[in-house]
Amino acid sequence: MMPLDTNDDISDDALMVLFANGDGQAASVLAYRHTGRVLALALRMLGDKAEAEDVAQDALMRLWKIAPDWRQGEAKVSTWLYRVASNLCTDRLRKQGGKRASEDIDNVPEPKDDAPSIESDLIARDRANALQAALETLPVRQRKAVSLRFLQELANPEVAEIMEISVEAVESLLARGKRGLAEALEAQKMELGLDT
Amino acid sequence: MTDSEKGENQEMLDVFFEASRAQDPVPGSDLMARILADASQVQAGFNPAPAVVSHPSAGQPGQTLLSRIFAVMGGWAGASALTASVCIGVLYGATAPDTVRSYLPALDEQTAELDYSYLGLLDETVADLEG
């Protein structure tokens, strides 16, 4: 069996084939490679850690199931996962009827270990929380487009592929989304150390 | 909104985006365990373990060779049928060849028409080789 734990440059397509053929390590590599980004998108879309984890698990479950039928070169695994996860989030938000997620401390993600100092970490966390709150005021499609483009840092064509819309439609969603965010965050600039 | 305002907004938003990216969640060990358990479960469905099929020739521990042969023949029913067939075959072979021949008159005619002249030629060839 191929030592996948030391072979991080193996392609996702190859890992899908290995997984479908019964290789036990392929799932580990795929899961550790993609779960973080799927979880991040779901958390930004839903604003709830437990729900975001459920979405991530569900999206990965769908990936495992489709492995035998995976068509190499047709779609990137990351793109496919983003699409599935974002659709799952949309479904959950619709069921909630646009209800905004609670903002208790459990929903705030853990900070990264390499934060330069406690003060700057607290400021960054406050800004991230403020952005999350502003994101949740946007319509779902704008929230999805902004999250994929500016937080997952994907190119517009990939965002378009994930959302199954044109690049022009993505640009329109992004423009409106940014305008909405700016309006929502404008009043907090001072307290978040941005107004000079 | 002027271009200047758009630029200011973009700068402000970039700060927020950067702060948010720095807070990217790290999947916990519980979540990873659940995801990998799902993967194992789904993967088991792709390659189901072969069903255990008992093969008569494999036998069971403690079985003798005779009992294995007996089992291969199909037990008492198979052994009885085989014995009966053998007995009938021997009986017909020993006692009733004429009866069989009476039902096949064409066999006698074909036998009478056979040409054995090649045997004479064979004798001559052998004699030439020897002599």
**Per-residue model confidence (pLDDT) at position B79:** 67
State the burial class of residue A31 (Cβ atoms within 10 Å of its Cβ: 0-12, 13-18, 19+).
buried
- For residues A63 and A190, give the distance between their C-alpha atoms in angstroms, rounded to a whole number: 44
Check whether B26 has a pLDDT greater than 90. Answer: yes
Give CA torsion, residues B98, B102, B105, B111, to 10 deg: 0
- The H or E element containing residue A82 is helix A77-96
The tens-digit pLDDT sequence of chain A (196 residues) is: 445 445 567 999 999 999 999 998 999 999 999 999 999 999 999 999 999 999 999 999 999 999 999 998 888 999 999 999 999 999 999 988 755 544 443 444 554 555 456 777 788 889 999 999 999 999 999 999 999 999 999 999 999 999 999 999 999 999 999 999 999 998 888 778 776 5
- For residues A156 and A162, give the distance between their C-alpha atoms in angstroms, rounded to a whole number: 10
**Per-residue model confidence (pLDDT) at position B85:** 74
Q: Could you please report the per-residue DSSP string of A13-37?
A: HHHHHHHHTT-HHHHHHHHHHHHHH
Percent of the residues in chain B that have a pLDDT greater than 70, as a whole number: 47
The mean pLDDT of B93-98, rounded to a whole number, is: 66
Task: With cut-offs at 50, 70 and 90, classify the pLDDT of residue B125.
Answer: confident
Q: A-contacting residues of B 65-94, CB under 8 Å?
A: none
Task: With cut-offs at 50, 70 and 90, classify the pLDDT of residue B114.
Answer: low
* Of A71, A1, A50, A54, nearest in space to A29 by CA: A1
Check whether B49 has a pLDDT greater than 70. Answer: no
Is domain A4-186 classified as CATH 3.30.360.10?
A: no
Chain A residues inside the 8 Å CB shell of B31: 35, 39, 53, 56-57
Which stretch of A69-73, A129-133, B5-9, B49-53 has the lowest confidence by average pLDDT?
A: B49-53
**Per-residue model confidence (pLDDT) at position A194:** 75
Q: B-contacting residues of A 61-90, CB under 8 Å?
A: 61, 64-65, 67-68
Q: Could you please report the per-residue DSSP string of chain B?
A: --HHHHHHHHHHHHHHHHHHHHT-----HHHHHHHHHHHHHHHHHHSPPPP----GGG--TT--HHHHHHHHHTHHHHHHHHHHHHHHHHHHHHH-HHHHHHT-HHHHHHHHT---THHHHHHHHHHHHH-
Structure tokens at A22: 């019964």
Task: With cut-offs at 50, 70 and 90, classify the pLDDT of residue B99.
Answer: low
Chain A residues inside the 8 Å CB shell of B40: 24, 27
Q: Is the ipTM of this complex over 0.85?
A: no
Do residues B16 and A185 make contact, with C-beta atoms less than 8 angstroms apart? yes
**Per-residue model confidence (pLDDT) at position B20:** 93
Q: Which residue of B has its CA nearest to A115?
A: B22
Query: Do residue A178 and residue B13 have CB atoms under 8 angstroms apart?
Result: yes
Q: Which of A20, A124, A178 sits opposite B23 (nearest CB)?
A: A124
Chain A residues inside the 8 Å CB shell of B34: 57
What digits encode the pLDDT tens for the residues B73-82? 666 666 677 6
Length of chain A: 196
- For CA atoms B14, B16, B17, B18, the dihedral sign is positive
* Of A121, A40, A117, nearest in space to A82 by CA: A40
C-beta pairs of A64-68 under 8 Å, 24+ apart in sequence: A64/A19, A64/A27, A64/B38, A64/B39, A64/B42, A64/B43, A65/B42, A67/A16, A67/A19, A67/A20, A67/B42, A67/B46, A68/A20, A68/B46
Other CB atoms closer than 10 Å to residue B77's CB: what's the count?
9
State the burial class of residue A85 (Cβ atoms within 10 Å of its Cβ: 0-12, 13-18, 19+).
buried
Query: Do residue B19 and residue A52 have CB atoms under 8 angstroms apart?
Result: no
- For residues B6 and B41, give the distance between their C-alpha atoms in angstroms, rounded to a whole number: 51
Kindly list the domain boundaries of chain A, sorted by start residue: 4-186
Check whether B11 has a pLDDT greater than 50. Answer: yes
